[in-house]
Structure 1
Amino acid sequence: MTDQTPQPGPGTGTRPGELLDRFLARLVDGILLAVVDGVVVTGIVVGAVMGDSSGLYYGASGYAASAVSAVLGAALYLGYFGYLESTRGQSVGKMVMKLRVLGPQGGNPTLEQSLRRNCWVAFGVLGVVPVIGGLVGGIASLVAVVMIAVGINSDTVNRQAWHDRFAGGTHVVKEG
């Protein structure tokens, strides 16, 4: 059976995903992941690891809880996008917005390509650095998002940004 995933280009019924559609897809994914991260990672896993159900962490145990939360949160985000894009070509947000990620040769991107195009979501792991790690990770994520938005908006033909090029030339296309 051959891969029937549409290829970008003239006459194929697909066009590059626009910035607004991609933003809304990422917003849907972000809300979904924030709920899962907040409930599972922070509430259950960190609470169980630290053995403190009060939710108040101080001193060394507070640092450990922050570090565990940062690492598990980064793994959750990378795993979500890596798995769904490499197996389905779409995250939940992309399904809602009728977007699909295509690898450089068409079809779904490989797991490596998907992880490379989403590597910036792992900046949250900088939260393991005491005091300033969370701030630095947040600023790095914001810079990455701005650069992606500017790149998508500037490339009027393919709507690719640095993260698509870093992944070997992935494309986000609008279906239908």
Structure 2
Amino acid sequence: MADRFVARFIDGLIVGVVAVILNFVLAFVSDSWFLTGFISAVVTAALYLGYFGYLESSRGQTIGKQVMKLKVFGPDRVSNPTLEQAIRRNIFMAFGVLRIVPIIGGVLSVLAGLAAVIMIAVNINSDPQRQHWFDKFAGGTQVIKIG
């Protein structure tokens, strides 16, 4: 489980830096804090889902998973997951879009993300195939150490 955590951390840093830069530019060019917050929440969620969805479906690995020698397999345990399966297994990354809700959106986003991470950690530790709920939601994808 530590390998998966480190891989997700590396990926989070990569996407996070890009998101901060995009959000900084957006805040600089916009006069409306409400519109900036709305667009920022949607763009950041799309960025995370796009990164994980594209790389896992096309290569079976994100940069973090490559570093940690992990690979995501589709339900057949042979091929990469489809784009839909990759997005479904990472859908919790879109909980940041809850920031569009005025006043309490930030808190809702953090609480939903925290609940997802706790649920993932519990599922990975208790499941014999080390699948979390979102792997099952994606049809049975699995992360396997390849090196």
- Report the TM-score range of the alignment, normalised by the length of the smaller protein: over 0.9
Is the contact between residue 89 and residue 109 of structure 1 (CA under 8 Å) also seen in structure 2?
yes
TM-superposed deviation, 1:134: 1.3
Q: Hey, what does 1:119 align to over in structure 2?
A: 91
| 1:131 pairs with one of 98, 103, 110 | 103
Is the contact between residue 37 and residue 73 of structure 1 (CA under 8 Å) also seen in structure 2?
yes
What letter matches 1:78 in structure 2?
L
Question: Within the alignment, does 1:74 sit opposite 2:45 as a pair?
Answer: yes
| 2:125 pairs with one of 138, 148, 153 | 153
TM-superposed deviation, 1:45: 3.2
| 1:96 pairs with one of 59, 67, 77 | 67
| Bigger CA radius of gyration | 1
TM-superposed deviation, 1:44: 1.7
Question: In structure 2, the residue corresponding to 1:100 is in which secondary structure?
Answer: strand
Write the distance in 2 (CA, Å) between the matches of 1:38 and 1:121: 16
Paired residues, number: 146
Q: Hey, what does 2:18 align to over in structure 1?
A: 36
Q: Hey, what does 2:7 align to over in structure 1?
A: 25
Q: Hey, what does 1:47 align to over in structure 2?
A: 28
Q: CA RMSD in A?
A: 0.9
Moved over 6 A (4+): none
What letter matches 1:121 in structure 2?
M
Write the distance in 2 (CA, Å) between the matches of 1:153 and 1:30: 22
TM-superposed deviation, 1:164: 0.4
Write the distance in 2 (CA, Å) between the matches of 1:62 and 1:129: 13
Is the contact between residue 46 and residue 68 of structure 1 (CA under 8 Å) also seen in structure 2?
no
Gap runs ≥5 in structure 2: none
TM-superposed deviation, 1:130: 0.5
Q: 1:152 to 1:24 in 2, by over 3 A?
A: same
TM-superposed deviation, 1:46: 3.8
Q: Does 1 or 2 have the higher relative contact order (CA < 8 Å, sep 6+)?
A: 1
